[in-house]
Amino acid sequence: MSKCTKEEVEIFLNDFHAKLTVFNVFFISRKKNAEALSKLEIDSLQRLEYIKSIKPENYFNGPNDDAYDPQSPPNWEFGMNIKRHEVYIKINLGKTNKSVMCISFHIAEKEINYPFH
């Protein structure tokens, strides 16, 4: 598990949000991600708004190399409470001139500890 400073998280999120406004976000299609939208009773536009609202206080892990794609930018992990459920969110900056990536957006499978709370 990689940890970093709050300032490093702020830099990542500034880059992430700036790139998101230009290239949008690509959501990885995974069963548990789809199930989370149903359980949380939110749609994909609401999910995007939650992604846009990520703050340094939501950070808990990263940056970490992608285990499946060594060419992929590092993954960063965040969590937030949505409708009384803790939600696990894994994002990265995406490849050059491509959308940012949301790999995971689902109900957390274990308790998240937030270093900047």
Tell me: the pLDDT tens digits for 28-80?
A: 999 999 999 999 999 999 999 999 999 999 999 999 998 888 888 999 999 99
The proportion of the chain whose per-residue pLDDT surpasses 90, expressed as a percent, equals 90
The full set of domains in the chain, from first to last, is 6-107 (3.30.2310.40)
Q: Which of 92, 61, 95, 97 is nearest to 79 (CA)?
A: 61
CA-wise closest residue to 92 among 69, 105, 68, 75: 75
Question: Has this prediction a pTM greater than 0.85?
Answer: yes
Q: Beta 59-64 vs 75-82: how paired, if at all? A: antiparallel
Please give the pLDDT value at position 2.
Answer: 58
The pLDDT of residue 20 is: 96
Q: Using CA atoms, how far apart are residues 99 and 101, in angstroms rounded to an integer? A: 6
Band the pLDDT of 1: cuts 50, 70, 90: low
